[in-house]
Chain A
Amino acid sequence: MGVRRARALRAVGKAILLIVGLAVSIFPYAYMVLQSLAPWSEVNRSIVPTQLTVRSYDWLLHGSAIALARPWLRAFGNSALVTSASTLLMLASALVVGYALSRLRWRGRDVVNQVILFQMFYPAIILLVPTFLVVRQLGMYDTYWGMIVPKAVNLWAIFMYVSFFKSIPQEVLEAARIDGAGELRIISRIVLPMSIPITAVVGLFLFMERWSELLWDLIVVKEYRMMTLNVLIATMSGPYATYPGPLYAASTLLTLPIVLVFVAASRYFTRGIQLVFK
């Protein structure tokens, strides 16, 4: 009886811990969504509003006589464009470069691998100002290129692929070569299908970090119409502070795509995450 009771007690304790922990994890998201749907007189005054309204979203899209309308929808599009272009470029380059650095024999390979390690640990903050100068010199200031090109190659992603590709058996690649397949074909037809879980997880991390980037996008963009949603919310939180409702609505729009991408990738999440945190 005593053992049984202790076991039951432990199960109840675990359930309580789990519920409290998950509630703390989810609460800010719930708060944000609820406030974005609250009547303006109730925003930030109660956790659950007495009624729901889409006024904040409506106001985001059409503005009002009092405040300047800002291109919120366009900003969302900017974020989507910049993030998907960056993420795809980072994944594609990491796939090809990682393959060359792990499965091809060439003289410069080991040196390049060493250099990548050095670069990964080199403090990127020192490069912030000169990178901005390079981007400006190339005529990319206040353009999409300025947000995409400097974030088109990711060292961590290359590193992840290099360590993963070492587990692919050499025979598979040799067989394809004997059949006369070129390297790019081998990568797209054999290597990529074998690395779906790690690609999903690495892609998720890259997407998330690029989508939430603030510092770089703040520096490289001047005009409202070029801003990503993240930057627009950040620059608006001052004068807009009297309109917290629309800001919550904008934040909800900002959060939605990441959650959707995460849900889409979560099938591979538990499997892929072990590869990432080895």
Chain B
Amino acid sequence: MRRREEMRGWLLASPYLLFSLIFFVVPFAWAAVLVFTRWDLISPQRHWVGLANFAEALASPRVQAAFWTPFKFMAIFLPTVLVAAIAIALLVNSLGRWSGLAAVGFFMPYLASGVAMALVVQGILSYNSPVSDVFFRLFGDVPDWLGVPALAITVIALMIAWKFSGYYALIFLAGLQSIPRELYEAAAIDGAGQWTSFWRITLPQLYPALYSVMILAVGLMFGIFTEPYMLTGGGPDLATHTWYLEIYYQAFSALRAGYASAVAVLNAVAVFLVLTVVRRLMEWWGRATGWV
């Protein structure tokens, strides 16, 4: 009986075990070798180059640009998406009967393919568009939206914020719905207004949701590919060049399998370090405000 149950367990888990062997263990081992080699994905010759790939990547202006891009995106993306998501969550939560329907509406942007939305953004910002018309009338000129570094970064960061606001709002909404009512009742008895109870009860109680969203949102900024690929190709002047664009370009255009894998390892290290800092900051801030 025990043996049969043992067998059953392994058997039912076998799809995962087999998949992991082929698409995790083997690539994992292969990557560990690749990063120390120079290879063009085609020829039988592979050169062992030791740490040269890493040395070259660290000195490369393209990789350095990719390192800074997530922080530039964050400066616009984080404030926008946090304010929008919390506002949406509060609004949806206060609707009562219609909250389900409203949540579905605000979630819609998350469904869009980045490719389709990139076309729409390109169209709206194109030279003859109604938006350009407004700028012509007001200032007599149109900003070069995707040709100026600061503007290109803003456009892409806002696109991603549009997509994720409703999605993060659902996480905040789950947080809002778990706040005990007694807290608000007690505050009302103490004569607290809406504003006070928002700052003293709602926000501190949303801290766990805020923590999760921060980790998700910061991590997201290191994995951007579709939007710059479609809109700017990483330009102007590498201003929107991202880690994934660099890895894609090096592996599949420049055919440098080893170098691209080394850049991917650096990307992983950067994400790990930044997320560790974000975690520490969030914990420190939570203690400082007394929210944890």
Contacts and interface: CB of A to CB of B under 8 A. Distances in A.
Interface stretch (B55-63, B135-143, B241-249): B241-249
B146 to A, nearest CB: 13
A14 B94 CA distance: 9
B123 A109 contact: no
A93 B55 CA distance: 42
A103 to B, nearest CB: 10
A204 to B, nearest CB: 9
Interface residues on B, range: 35 or more
Contact of A104 (B9, B28, B94, B119): B9
A271 to B, nearest CB: 9
Contact of B30 (A35, A43, A133): A133
A119 B229 contact: no
A198 interface: no
Given A97-B13, A125-B223, A219-B252, A31 B91 contact: no
B120 interface: yes
A26 B104 CA distance: 11
Nearest to A187: B12
A212 interface: yes
Contact of A28 (B95, B120, B126, B248): B120
A82 B195 CA distance: 51
B262 to A, nearest CB: 10
Contacts of B230: 234, 237
A119 B12 contact: no
A128 B264 contact: yes
Contacts of A96: 12, 15
A248 B174 CA distance: 36
B5 interface: yes
A interface SS class: helix
B129 A214 contact: no
Interface string B70-107: 00000000000000000110010011000010111111
B interface SS class: helix
B124 interface: yes
Contacts of B114: 212, 214
A22 B12 contact: no
A233 B12 contact: no
A193 interface: no
Contact of B27 (A127, A211, A212, A230): A127
B9 A108 contact: yes
A128 B184 CA distance: 49
B198 to A, nearest CB: 14
Given A29-B112, A129-B261, A215-B248, A106 B105 contact: no
A28 B117 contact: yes
Nearest to A47: B130
A251 interface: yes
Interface centre among B95, B116, B126 (most CB of A within 10 A): B116
28 contacts: A21-B87, A21-B88, A22-B106, A28-B109, A44-B128, A45-B128, A100-B9, A123-B271, A127-B23, A129-B34, A129-B257, A134-B27, A134-B30, A150-B23, A153-B19, A183-B12, A211-B113, A212-B113, A214-B226, A233-B115, A233-B116, A233-B119, A234-B229, A247-B119, A251-B116, A255-B113, A273-B174, A274-B177
Interface of B: 5-6, 8-13, 15-17, 19-20, 22-24, 26-28, 30-31, 34, 41, 87-88, 91, 94-95, 100, 102-124, 126, 128-130, 162, 166, 170-171, 174, 177, 223, 225-226, 229-230, 243-244, 247-248, 251-252, 257, 260-261, 264-265, 267-268, 271-272
